[in-house]
Amino acid sequence: MKNSLAVMVAVLALGAAPALAQSPQGSGQGAGTSGSQGSAKAGSQGQTKGGSSKGSTKAGSQAGANASAKGSPDSMFAKEAAVGGMAEVELGNLAKDKGSNADVKRFGDRMATDHGKANDELKQWAQQKNVTLPTELDAKHKATRDRLTKLSGDAFDKAYMHEMVMDHQHDVAAFKRESTSGKDPDLKAWAGKTLPTLQDHLKMAQDTATTVGAGGSKSSTKASKSGNGAARR
């Protein structure tokens, strides 16, 4: 009897041994699989974070470029042209109402029409380039408008035409510079297209100023010719 029990215990022990040997191996495989999955997940997350970092860097770089463009010479020219254009329209309408000379009234009407059209074209460019243009006159042009508003008759004609000669000398120089050295191709093309109109305005302003006897018109004409000669050289 004792011998039979001993044999049975031995058989059971031999049968359990393979199962015990396989259990640690299976556990090891499970741990290996779990570790592999964890590594893959960590790598995936790392790549995602890396991609997000690259995206943030790219977005920041683009935002910096846009900010730089807004402070560029092209942007500054556009903003100055916008203010000047609005002033020409306002003063032109003022000349139509307060001018006593027919040529002054005619000149004012031409200013309101031509600069109004140019202003609209510049606004279209600004919208395309995401540039914010001024919507009202600066202090300098407001002061000029207020001063002219208080004048009438011959005094208004002379003061207005004197301002127009000086303003268009400045405008012609600024637009000529932008048309040759501007960096934005669309704004550069617009400046080049508008320049002949401004040159025509300057000549009209000089002739009308001479007609009404505006002080300084002759010297302004000479300065303009000298400046054009210097630009051609």
SS3 151: coil
Q: Are 165 and 209 in contact (CB under 8 A)?
A: yes
Predicted confidence (pLDDT) per residue in 22-39, tens digit: 444 444 444 444 444 544
Asked whether the CA dihedral 169, 170, 173, 175 is positive or negative, the reply is: negative
Average pLDDT over residues 207-232: 62
> Given pLDDT bands bounded at 50, 70 and 90, which one contains residue 128?
very high
What pTM does this model have? 0.66
Q: 59-73 burial, b for 16+ CB within 10 Å, e for fewer? A: eeeeeeeeeeeeeee
Burial category of 164 from C-beta neighbours within 10 Å (exposed 0-12, middle 13-18, buried 19 and up): buried
Main-chain dihedrals φ then ψ at residue 213, nearest 5 degrees: 75, 35
- Number of neighbours of residue 44 by Cβ within 10 angstroms: 10
What is the dihedral sign for C-alpha 189, 232, 116, 193? Answer: negative
What pLDDT score does 14 carry?
A: 55
pLDDT tens-digit readout, 90-127: 999 999 999 999 999 999 999 999 999 999 999 999 99
- Domain coordinates in residue numbering, the chain: 72-232
Q: Which CATH architecture has domain 72-232?
A: Up-down Bundle (1.20)
The tens digit of pLDDT for each residue in 130-146 reads: 999 999 999 999 999 99
Instruction: Pick the closest to residue 176 from 216, 163, 168, 121 (CA basis).
Output: 168
